[in-house]
Structure 1
Amino acid sequence: MNAIVKHMDSIAMKGWFEHMHRHPELSMHEKHTAEYIAEQLRAIGGYEIATGIGKHGIVATLKVGDGDKVIGLRADFDALPIQEENNLPYKSTVQGVAHLCGHDGHTAMLLGAAKHLAETRNFNGTVRLIFQPAEETMEGGPAMINDGLFERFPVDAVFGMHNIPGLEKGKFYFHAGEMMSAVDNWEVEIIGKGGHGGIPELTIDPVVAGSSIVMAIQSIVSRNVAPSHRAVVTIGAFLAGNAGNVVAGSAILRFSIRSTTPEDREMILTNIRRIVSHQAESFGCTSEIREGIPGAVLINDAEETDKAARIAQAAFGEDQVVNPGPSFLASEDFAFMLQKKKGTYCFLGNGPGKMVHHPEYVLDEEIMPIGAAYWVALTEGYLR
């Protein structure tokens, strides 16, 4: 398989990756990125290309021979609302927006596989390349599914992959069953009564109420989730006011709620609703909860996980594949695709470095040919 890695077009992947890294676009705003991906697919040739699926999604289909099996390979391509703090020659040119999760690399890997598969055609069946927007906001997968993804472009199984810093560079990690948590992204507004900071008795302070809510919510996981289970509630944003001598009229809290069982998820969400309502009321405030897309646990099919791991072992060597590998409380909207079709999701080690979503995160370009070669091996192995 080392030969296939060497035959991946690393120069092309580097160009695709660095172009997308320079020109990131946020979730559901990836118009130019989608156009760029479609343009590269047309240049590769051989694929039937469908665009605009779930707004910016793309499906590229290549049929070879008379086989009736169909495999789906998925990559994401949205960026994050984070200011990059790297001094890369291909650093993001967009203020406050950057590919700090590696989705640009994921897309470059799938394009690299697309090029190799179109040139070699060493399989018998149909491969569908699914380029998905808006993974970061959990919108893209459901949007493509609701737009008829699997009805218009049927597959027998669907596969995903993500780079992970801290895992050994170039190794693949598989995990049957629950691999990533469900995430619910909520926004809570606490409405009080603004006024002068020196006359607080004429105000109703939503910052005090919001602070109480932040502290009270930390008891949910520690006191209500079994120690043998895993869950986390993160309040990553607390937005209120602009001046130290002014009591704000309202405050915004933004939540990331992660759970690994349906029962824990429902319990946590119910308790958050209760705490927000009662704590706000106890301070004389009112509250409004804006719930995001319902989360889903990413559950890998055991049979497809074993099959993909065995293909990877045969291709790269047993020492380059870890099965079972780790699971994480991070989340992925590929979970919604796995609710509709069997398949599996694996991790590709990115080596030492800052974790994804960190301002100094860097995708190691040397793993891109390896990731592309995995997609080729998986396609050829699945569509023998």
Structure 2
Amino acid sequence: MEKDTLKSLIEFRKTLHQFPEISGDEKETAKRVLNFFGDLNPTKVIQKLGGHGLAFVFEGKEDGPVSLYRCELDGLPIKEENNIKHISKVPGKSHVCGHDGHMAIISGLGIHLSKNPPLKGKVVLLFQPAEETGAGAEAVIKDPKFKAIKPDFAFALHNLPTFESKQIILKKGAFAAASVGMTIHLKGRNSHSAHPEAGNSPAEAMAKTIVALERLPDAMKKFSLVTVIHAQLGEIAFGTTPGEASVRATLRAHENETRDLLVSYAEKLVIKIAKEYGLEVSFEYVESFAATHNDEDAWNLGNEAAKKLKLRTKHIRIPFRWSEDFGLFSSHTKTLLFGLGSGKKQPQLHEPNFDFPDELIPVGVDMFKEITKELHG
């Protein structure tokens, strides 16, 4: 990569880093991306895709496949704790997941395509909103404008701390877990705390629910995990016996079907506990992520690209426990999500002192360039 090109991408990345916007609010980030692509002459620009999403289409003169390369627009509601000049200027918000770096990589691919347009088919660069909440991919796919760019292949990467810097992490089949956030509402009856027998406190049922949920995966044949992340019993009122409680948990598995089975078992378990204590029960679900499944054809393209570039690769056997809403694209087309090692001593994703390493930008761009060359000439 030319020094001037890399310099402009690093500067762009650092600007994005300073002005993070959380899921669904990425209006100014989208404007910055649109301005960056102003001189790159894509064939078509699609705005407000699934919210503040953007798609830049580069068309070849001959018929051919459509391939999509996705990055994420959103930051996180986390206060950054870094000693860097480009630290976030937005209180309580930051790019400590590296989405700023992912955007720089796809922007670098845009620079390449402006100078080397595809010979056949279409290349689509997608800047997706709301990845962190799991809502963005669904909103993009459901948007009527998506029909015009429906891809035959979709590719994405995620930087991965604890792996060697610039290493490519690959796996066929299941790559990242399916997950969902579950909220359980238990309703009993308030009473004076001097007369708890006159009410029906959900305290004991809540305690049983917390313990039972986290032990539920023991009964599953395939990998699953339940993590209770929050619980609330009544209000802080020392004269009142609580009448309501809520328990929130994240349920995850390597396959969509196993996650759905886990949810079903969890509901049955909680309903049984609630019935035992004479409580009403209801459920809510948020942040549903589909499992990311790497198609063999897409995997081959990524693997060959890494070989041609003589990059170090690591072929993992066990899928990651975390979720990525890129997984929803797996239900609609042939997908590949691969990892890009960001250093063994790099802070973990979502830690307040994370900052995307700029030396990864050329590696990510080169991987996607090789894939586009193979598919589109």
Same fold (TM over 0.5): yes
Other structure's SS at 1:362 match: coil
Structure 1 stretches lacking a partner, 5+ long: none
2:214 to 203, 213, 218: 218
Counterpart of 2:50 (choices 39, 54, 58) is 54
| Paired residues of 1:10 and 1:369 also in contact (CA < 8 A) | yes
Report if the CA contact (8 A) 1:165-1:350 is conserved: yes
Aligned to 1:342: 334
Asked whether 1:20 is paired with 2:16, we answer: yes
Residue pair 2:184, 2:282 contacting (<8 A) in 1 also: yes
Alignment partner of 1:260 is 2:238: no
Q: Where does 1:1-384 land on structure 2 (aligned, <5 Å)? A: 4=1, 6=2, 9-121=5-117, 123-148=119-144, 150-194=146-190, 200-201=196-197, 204-222=200-218, 224-226=219-221, 229-240=222-233, 243=236, 245=238, 249-292=243-286, 295-315=289-309, 317=310, 319-323=311-315, 327-351=319-343, 352-384=345-377
Pick closer, same or farther for the CA change 1:249–1:360 going to 2, 3 Å. farther
8 A contact 1:79–1:100 mirrored in 2: yes
CA distance in 1, matches of 2:204, 2:92: 29
Do the aligned residues in 2 keep the contact of 1:8 with 1:112 (CA within 8 Å)?
no
Deviation digits for residues 210-235 of structure 1 (CA, Å, limit 9, x no counterpart) = 2321111112102x112xx3211112
Question: Hey, what's the Cα distance between the residues in 1 that align with 2:346 and 2:206?
Answer: 35
Deviates more, 1:52-61 or 1:246-255: 246-255
Contact 2:153/2:335, CA 8 A, preserved across alignment: yes
Which sits farther off after the overlay, 244-253 or 89-98?
244-253
d(CA) in 1 for partners of 2:76, 2:202: 29
Deviations 1:182-217 (A, max 9, x none): 111222223344566666555544454323211111
Which one-letter code corresponds to 2:370 in the other structure?
Answer: A
1:8–1:373 contact (8 Å) kept in structure 2: no
**Aligned sequence identity (%):** 26
User: Per the alignment, do residues 155 and 262 of structure 1 end up closer, same or farther by CA in structure 2, a change over 3 Å counting?
Assistant: closer
2:84 aligned counterpart, secondary structure: coil
CA distance in 2, matches of 1:91, 1:313: 36
Partner Cα separation in structure 2 for residue 95 and residue 250 of structure 1: 34
Matched position secondary structure for 1:69: strand
Distance in 2 of aligned mates of 1:159 and 1:108: 15
For the 8 Å contact 1:296–1:336, the answer to whether it is kept is: yes
Rounded Cα–Cα distance in structure 1 between residues aligned with 2:27 and 2:250: 27
1:163–1:247 distance in 2 versus 1, CA, 3 Å: farther
5+ unaligned residues in a row in structure 2: which ranges?
none
Normalised to the residue count of structure 1, the TM-score between the two structures is: 0.88
How many pairs were matched up? 375
Residues 290-328 of structure 1 show CA distances to partners (whole Å, capped at 9, x for unaligned) of: 12365422111112201221022102x0x5223456520
